[in-house]
Structure 1
Amino acid sequence: MSLDRLAPAIFVLLWSTGWVAAKFGGIYSDPLTFLSVRYAVAAVLFALFCRIAGVRWPKDRATILHAVVSGAFLHGFYLAAVWWAVGQGVPAALSGIIAALQPLMTALTAPYMIGERLSPMQKVGIVLGFAGVAIAIFPKFAGIGGTDIPTVALLVNVLGMTSVTYGTIYQKQHLHTGDIRAIATLQYLGALVVTVPLALLLEPFEVRLSWEFLALLGWSVLGISMGAVLVLLYLIRRGQVSRAASLIYLVPPLAAIEAAIAFGEELTTPMIVGTGIVVIGVYLANRKEAHTAPAE
């Protein structure tokens, strides 16, 4: 089986664990501090990997700048918002459902930014996706069922979703060449530009060292920051931006199941129904690509 066929499943499985890591990370440090350590380690390991592999680094300033800026949005603002929101009480499963808006937002904005056109069925899918997220979020947002989530935390979580949407399109617009390993290294430097100042401003910047912390850091760096991100960059480079983004449609149900197992988070009926509608919506929003993608 080719990498093109396996890559989506690998990415979804690895990426879905990010919400569980966000919840566990709060046990050992504040979220922005943990992300800063994670990005610093990932940048160093990527740089070593590039050196060993003989990767050619971008020489023009424009490519370097675009890589740093895209990393600030794809990793810095995005996960800073998500991890902070989870730390403020947004359930990991619900945060994953909010993240499912990203491929829909990407498909919605791509026609205006990079010229990808939407079919009527894709438009229906986008409407369904947003409706599904609304169904999943509203009871928690309104405090129905005894669990009231801070409004600010939910809004920040949504802001993170818009950040990764913009970052995905920005990368498609400006990063057409260059080794994806070198690009990923520069992107983590861009993420550090965001998370380190925020951590110093909002947190004591302390870490409770333990074997559990090191294990979580190891998985966050090797499994997610390196493994999942390399797969995602590969997919973005290979296909249309909305097609690459739509791979996230399986993340919410996986994240919800993992959070229920790891933390006993309740899977309410609105969350289950809303997630199902989101999955259908993103599937419909992505159907066109199977017929219009150029031959490779």
Structure 2
Amino acid sequence: MQRFAPFLFVFLWSTGFVGAKYGMPYAEPLSFLLTRYVLVIALMLPIALATRAPWPKWPQEWLHIGVSGVLVHAIYLGGVFVAIKHGLSAGVTALVVGMQPLLTAFGSGWLGEKVSARQWGGLVLGFIGVGLVVSGKLGAGALGPMLIPAFVALLGITAGTLYQKRFCPKFDLRSGSVIQFVPTAIVTAIAVAAFEDYNIEWNGHFLFALGWLVLVLSLGAISLLNLLIRSGSAVNVASLFYLTPPTTALIAFAVFGETLTLTAVIGMVVAVSGVYLVARTK
């Protein structure tokens, strides 16, 4: 099962665009995310208590898990949703966030990990592949102030991956989810109070998107990400994010009939080759 965890994670993480596509037109971005976080807490807290999940024994463990949650969820997802909602194309956002594996490699020395020449080559190759995949969808909004939240998202997911790997790689997924999402919800609620009016149009499209993001992404994909961070190197885990744009493009082609160009297909092959070089053990 563990062998297939990276592939399942990539697939589930890539379906996040379904939530954005169906839900974002009906809600402000941070309000959407706050509702998502509150529902995750409401689901996971009773499960953790009913199953008597172990909780961290020391205050610093609670702090580290909470900080990792804020970085991975509040900062990363908040930046991505705000950028796309306010006009940055999904292609540009994917390209900016796609730099995460390279940044993670630069920060891996903090973890005592060494990145080989082969892995550096794979990281560069993977980024080129992502660029080819999204090249036809860069569109308008490639420049402007909305690049700022996209880069904030990039720093959030990079720092969150490195921080969690160093300070709290192992924690119970049931209680850990609660500890991660409570401070995430608090930080997001403060941002909503400061910048939004919590406007949500409750309809079938929004409810589907919300349910998908809560169950598939926040519970499924995030749990797999935590498991991968626990068992693999930060660089190997980060390289999987190179596979998200290609997988998303395939899903969009299959489900929504979006165009899949020859350049995008070549980019997929290049990105997969790069991830293979990074993850190869010999």
Same fold (TM over 0.5): yes
CA contact (8 A) 1:92 1:256 kept: no
Residues 148 and 269 of structure 1: is their aligned pair in 2 closer, same or farther, counting only changes over 3 Å?
farther
Identity of aligned residues (%): 37
Task: Please say if 1:152 is aligned against 2:145.
Answer: yes
Aligned runs of 1:253-272 on 2, under 5 Å? Answer: 253-260=246-253
Unpaired runs of at least 5, structure 2: none
Deviates more, 1:156-165 or 1:271-280: 271-280
Deviations 1:104-143 (A, max 9, x none): 3223321x210111111112223333444556677876x6
Letter in 1 for 2:241: I
Match of 1:118 in 2: 115
CA contact (8 A) 1:20 1:262 kept: no
Match among 1, 4, 7 for residue 2 of structure 2: 4
Task: Give the number of equivalent residue pairs.
Answer: 282
Q: TM-score, normalised by structure 1?
A: 0.84
Match of 2:53, SS state, is: coil
| Aligned-CA RMSD value | 2.5
Deviates more, 1:238-247 or 1:54-63: 238-247
CA contact (8 A) 1:19 1:255 kept: yes
Deviations 1:30-76 (A, max 9, x none): 11110000011111211111112110111311010111111110111
CA contact (8 A) 2:101 2:123 kept: no
Deviations 1:152-195 (A, max 9, x none): 32342233122111101100111144312211211111221332
Equivalents in 2 of 1:268, 1:227: separation in Å? Answer: 30
Q: TM-score, normalised by structure 2?
A: 0.88
Q: CA deviation at 1:96?
A: 3.5
CA contact (8 A) 2:45 2:178 kept: yes
Q: CA deviation at 1:23?
A: 2.7
Unpaired runs of at least 5, structure 1: 292-296
Match of 1:282 in 2: 275
Task: Please say if 1:247 is aligned against 2:208.
Answer: no
Match of 1:45 in 2: 43
Match of 1:88 in 2: 86
Deviates more, 1:193-202 or 1:24-33: 193-202
CA contact (8 A) 1:46 1:181 kept: yes
Residues 136 and 252 of structure 1: is their aligned pair in 2 closer, same or farther, counting only changes over 3 Å?
closer
CA contact (8 A) 2:95 2:131 kept: no
Q: CA deviation at 1:252?
A: 1.1
Match of 1:294 in 2: none
Letter in 2 for 1:283: Y
CA contact (8 A) 1:128 1:277 kept: yes
Match of 2:113, SS state, is: coil
Equivalents in 1 of 2:148, 2:128: separation in Å? Answer: 17
Deviations 1:206-240 (A, max 9, x none): 21112332222111101110011111111211222
CA contact (8 A) 1:135 1:270 kept: yes
